[in-house]
Structure 1
């Protein structure tokens, strides 16, 4: 017999003979009806675990990571309100089941069995993954990414306090709710988890409301690596800003009472609580993992002897609620019902085509209140003397600042957050005056942690806000990129479009800064962003384009619920000139607030047919410089500005190069993994026009005089274009 069968037989034998584990007598506020509900949820969770393994062996199920040993989480669910959003550890089937039973959703076993079977009828993921989650139960789906859901749970908790002062249009959660996030003891060591704990404590230390309940399910092991005894308590019991409580997850009475206290503290004091729950892990980590290959058999059997279901039987018997025989009957009846349920689920339809799988990559559009833009009175009050300056051509950074101001006047749910965005106004002054205009609640100076910045944005979007987080430099994104890949972009995919986190992430990046910072402040690698399905990547090059594109990005987030990255070329922030010092030819006049550039629309300068130069960002500026000399040479060119780097505006690009004799791609990102690779493929597959590329080298960027040595220049563009046109 495998360990699951051994645990099953142990339960039947020990409840039949009354050989129940020792423990404390039942005490606390748990009433008989709720106790029965908790035990029923525990039995359902155990039966589903066992049946998932049966389905996998039969080729009817495809992923098993069980909750056995963690069934005490049913008591935590019972202690919370169903309206408290819960971001769950992957061993929390009992929590989800108990919440379903709380709300009268009796068919929860069917829902979960459909998930095991990867059926397209699975109500949460539509067959894309075996995940816990339910829109009706306020449980956003989580996959098995370790602890990456904790930063956004902190962001969601933060949004509850902000919503009391400033309600967003699409508010989702009751203002007296709390947010719960659960995780394992091994996951508590992960960088994402540590970021969340630190941010929560940092926030609470400053008396900022944060009704957050962290629940650590401590089974003492992560796959095969043991957690040092006492580590979790030693690590969390005395953290400033974080209230620590502990309970025995094998005892539903103790767990329920402690979870009630923890939830009450978080709800009334609006402060984060760390609830440390002792559990055991039964069966091994997941799937075919055999714990006796790395643990002594005696330890495995000791955990099995501490089966939480056996403890619950003892407690319910001592409380006069259920006899061991009645509990045994409930368990066996539940196992039989779940077997039938899973047999039926295995016959239900599954996803078949790429189109089926991809159907939820792009979230659904949502209804939004109509807006007419900011009033003249509001603009006059916000902009002050800047209104007159709008009549004169301006640099790119000022266009972004003004566009943000107009957008924040138009959409009160927009909130900015990031390092130095408030009092300082950003490293380059892009967000200066915004905190004075809109207050610190809407322009948030965050702690120095990109994971927490993005988590704050994702979490606030869960509650109807429209976040615009800033990542100070592109290279800093790599500290936190999983928040975009593993959380933001995957949420609609794994929830079948039921959950979304619309947001616009502003990132200052790319190269060509003179004498500042080297590769950390000049980063020309955007492959990680272009590789995320469903994410939109925008990159303006002129001030007017930046304002219009930023408005479209906000519209895409607000109305179409998209995750958008707005990549701002740092070197072009202050750019004034094009070909000669003092010509001011790169300055543009601020466009009317109603003007936008739609997603997928490219820019074009010139209509020559000898050569089309396809480029973006700094490459646009450099290509325009080369264009002047090429025209003098008699090579008639057009410069096409991509603007939208992902998804590539393929149709618009093909239209833009139509009639040209040659194409030169100028790409400031790297030769390997850069944008040019996709452009070369596009033109190869869809045109007969000869084409070539000029890219950055596969190198980091240096500081000092060699700051641009690895990237295209106006001269190299000119030389390459001449050679191409001579062939």
Structure 2
């Protein structure tokens, strides 16, 4: 007999016999009405867990990680407001159910059963995943990635204070809201969680507003690995900047009282708090998990003897809020009701086609107020003496700086964040003067933690900002890539387009730096970005293109809610010359603020039909260096700058090489997993031309004189072109 059946029958027997576990009396500010509401939510949560197992047995349900043992979270929900954004632990069904009772018009049991059934009628995910979440309840959906939602909770809390000074057009959260974020005791050990706790404390320590309530649901075990006794309390009781609270999750009166105190502290002090809530876990980790295979049966039974619902009935009965017999009737009625609703939910349709599943990868367009660009007076004030220099050709880094200035003048909701982006102006000076122009509130110098930088951006996007985070070097992104893959990119997918994470992530990357850093500061691997569904990867090769593409990236984020990565080739930041010293041929004038390169438009130089060189970034620069020798050999060539690396602008590329006899792909990323693989496949499918590729080696990049030895050069491009066209 499964543990869920045993716990259920024990509850029926013990309540009928008034055989309750010992515990505290019902004392505190929880009203009788709210106490009964918490119990009803708990009964619904428990019935859903049991029903999910039966649905799986029948082949009509597809998720069995339940919330049994964590039903005390219903009392936490009642201590908060529905306008407080909640990022939930996956065992928080009782929280969501209790919050639904605070918002009129909800059909929470039916909605959650549709999610268990993976029905396309599921109002949060549209049948893509069983997730807790609801737009109406201010609960963005979370998946089960370990602790990955904590950094964005820090960002969302920070965004509440930031919005007081600069309220975005699409702001979601009231000024007096707090952000709630829950997780398990095992997840608290994850590096992502530890980074979020540190970032919260680091922010609070500097007296910056951060109204964030962390709730650790400590059931003492992570799947089969136990949490050492006292570990959570001793780890968090004395953290600087993080106020510690503790409550017994088996006692809804104590839970409500302490949760209310913690929420009031966060709301009034605008500082983060950590609520350590003691819970238990019933039934094991999920339906297929049998806890008696790794725990003594006596220990499992002792835990079950402290079923939270038994404690609730004891307290409700003793306080006079609800007699035990009526509580038992509510429990059985709830089970019957959930069974009836499940019978209907399992008949609802499912996703069937790839198009159905993928429909939510790209978020919907959102209406925005028209932007007429910055006024001449505003530009004159911001740019100062830089205005006079715009008539002369400039290097890429300066043109990016000016483009960022114009964008921030035009869109007050754009906020930049990253290590050294403010006072220093970035490692390469790209963001110099922006703090003087826009202030520290919009140019945020962060702590050194890429997960926290991206979490801040994701969270601020939840409150209507358009974040422009910066990762100093492409190699550093790998410390935090799950914030893009597991959080930012998946949010539209798992919310059926109801939530999104629009941003423009700027990364200095690629190779060819002569004197700095080896593979930590020269990284030519973009595979991790190119395989994330919905992510747009842009890579300019010159300053004018960079400015015009950056404006399009801002539009994509602002109006189309897209997740965009803008990869800036470090070696081209200062590039002035093309062929000879002081020829100045790789510098451009700053494009007028209304000039844009649309998403998917490629660059075409020349009209030769013998050879098309398809490339991007540094490859475009090197191909232009090689062009003179290729032309001297009698080969009429054109150079195609791809610009957009993901998704590839396939139609534009096909049109750009039309009529060419040969196509040479020049790719500075690695031979394996590089961009050339996709380009070769595309042209093989669409063009009769003879194909070849020149790529970097499958190697890290060296420091010193061999900095470019593993990557294409002007000479190797020339040689490859001549060999292909012979």
Question: In the alignment, what sits opposite 1:660?
Answer: 660
Question: Secondary structure at 1:420's aligned position in 2?
Answer: coil
383-392 or 339-348, larger mean C-alpha shift? 339-348
Question: In the alignment, what sits opposite 1:13?
Answer: 13
Counterparts of 1:409 and 1:603 in 2: how far apart (Å)? Answer: 28
Mapping of 1:173-184 within 5 angstroms?
173-184=173-184
Is 1:349 aligned to 2:345, yes or no? no
Question: In the alignment, what sits opposite 1:37?
Answer: 37
Counterparts of 2:542 and 2:104 in 1: how far apart (Å)? Answer: 56
Question: In the alignment, what sits opposite 2:133?
Answer: 133
Mapping of 1:544-693 within 5 angstroms?
544-693=544-693
Question: In the alignment, what sits opposite 2:285?
Answer: 285
Counterparts of 2:343 and 2:106 in 1: how far apart (Å)? Answer: 18
Structure 2 residues not aligned, in runs of 5+:
none
Structure 1 residues 526-578: Cα deviation after superposition (integer angstroms, max 9, x where no partner): 00000000000000000000000000000000000000000000000000011
Counterparts of 1:293 and 1:558 in 2: how far apart (Å)? Answer: 52
Question: Secondary structure at 1:655's aligned position in 2?
Answer: helix
Question: In the alignment, what sits opposite 1:508?
Answer: 508
Mapping of 1:425-574 within 5 angstroms?
425-574=425-574
Shift, 1:515, TM fit:
2.0
Instruction: Count matched residues.
Output: 726
Structure 1 residues 660-710: Cα deviation after superposition (integer angstroms, max 9, x where no partner): 010000000000000000001001111111111000010100001110011
Give TM-score scaled by structure 1 length: 1.00
Counterparts of 1:302 and 1:106 in 2: how far apart (Å)? Answer: 37
Question: In the alignment, what sits opposite 2:148?
Answer: 148
Shift, 1:104, TM fit:
2.9
Counterparts of 1:628 and 1:584 in 2: how far apart (Å)? Answer: 17
Question: In the alignment, what sits opposite 1:240?
Answer: 240
Question: Secondary structure at 1:142's aligned position in 2?
Answer: coil
Is 1:55 aligned to 2:47, yes or no? no
Question: Secondary structure at 1:622's aligned position in 2?
Answer: helix
Counterparts of 1:572 and 1:286 in 2: how far apart (Å)? Answer: 52
Question: In the alignment, what sits opposite 1:401?
Answer: 401
Counterparts of 1:474 and 1:378 in 2: how far apart (Å)? Answer: 34
Shift, 1:337, TM fit:
0.4
Question: Secondary structure at 2:124's aligned position in 1?
Answer: coil
Question: Secondary structure at 2:140's aligned position in 1?
Answer: strand
Which of structure 1's runs of 4+ aligned residues deviate more than 3 A? none
Counterparts of 2:438 and 2:704 in 1: how far apart (Å)? Answer: 39
Counterparts of 2:192 and 2:340 in 1: how far apart (Å)? Answer: 40
Counterparts of 1:628 and 1:462 in 2: how far apart (Å)? Answer: 50
Counterparts of 1:544 and 1:207 in 2: how far apart (Å)? Answer: 41
Structure 1 residues 287-318: Cα deviation after superposition (integer angstroms, max 9, x where no partner): 21000001111111111001000000000001
Question: Secondary structure at 2:118's aligned position in 1?
Answer: coil
Counterparts of 1:180 and 1:294 in 2: how far apart (Å)? Answer: 33
Question: Secondary structure at 1:114's aligned position in 2?
Answer: helix
Counterparts of 2:128 and 2:318 in 1: how far apart (Å)? Answer: 44
Shift, 1:395, TM fit:
0.3
Structure 1 residues 268-293: Cα deviation after superposition (integer angstroms, max 9, x where no partner): 00000000000000000012100000
Counterparts of 2:63 and 2:192 in 1: how far apart (Å)? Answer: 24
Structure 1 residues 62-108: Cα deviation after superposition (integer angstroms, max 9, x where no partner): 12110000000000000000000000000000000000011134520
Structure 1 residues 578-608: Cα deviation after superposition (integer angstroms, max 9, x where no partner): 1111110000000000000000000011111
Question: In the alignment, what sits opposite 1:370?
Answer: 370
Structure 1 residues 134-166: Cα deviation after superposition (integer angstroms, max 9, x where no partner): 000000000101110000000000000011111
Counterparts of 2:299 and 2:677 in 1: how far apart (Å)? Answer: 54
Shift, 1:322, TM fit:
1.2
Question: Secondary structure at 1:162's aligned position in 2?
Answer: helix
Mapping of 1:35-434 within 5 angstroms?
35-434=35-434
Counterparts of 2:47 and 2:105 in 1: how far apart (Å)? Answer: 18
Question: Secondary structure at 1:134's aligned position in 2?
Answer: coil
Counterparts of 1:552 and 1:680 in 2: how far apart (Å)? Answer: 27
Structure 1 residues 191-235: Cα deviation after superposition (integer angstroms, max 9, x where no partner): 111111000000000000000000000000000000000000000
533-542 or 105-114, larger mean C-alpha shift? 105-114
Question: Secondary structure at 1:217's aligned position in 2?
Answer: strand
Counterparts of 2:295 and 2:124 in 1: how far apart (Å)? Answer: 36
Counterparts of 1:448 and 1:334 in 2: how far apart (Å)? Answer: 50
Question: In the alignment, what sits opposite 2:709?
Answer: 709
293-302 or 133-142, larger mean C-alpha shift? 293-302
Counterparts of 1:689 and 1:20 in 2: how far apart (Å)? Answer: 80
Shift, 1:645, TM fit:
0.2
Question: Secondary structure at 2:321's aligned position in 1?
Answer: coil
Structure 1 residues 314-343: Cα deviation after superposition (integer angstroms, max 9, x where no partner): 000011011111111100000010011111
Give TM-score scaled by structure 2 length: 1.00
Counterparts of 1:31 and 1:229 in 2: how far apart (Å)? Answer: 33
Counterparts of 1:659 and 1:163 in 2: how far apart (Å)? Answer: 54
CA 1:162–1:106: 2 relative to 1, 3 Å: closer
Question: Secondary structure at 1:295's aligned position in 2?
Answer: coil
Counterparts of 2:27 and 2:4 in 1: how far apart (Å)? Answer: 31
Structure 1 residues not aligned, in runs of 5+:
none
298-307 or 206-215, larger mean C-alpha shift? 298-307
Counterparts of 2:675 and 2:439 in 1: how far apart (Å)? Answer: 39
Counterparts of 2:169 and 2:332 in 1: how far apart (Å)? Answer: 49
Alignment root-mean-square deviation, CA: 0.5
Counterparts of 1:534 and 1:287 in 2: how far apart (Å)? Answer: 32
Counterparts of 1:580 and 1:54 in 2: how far apart (Å)? Answer: 75
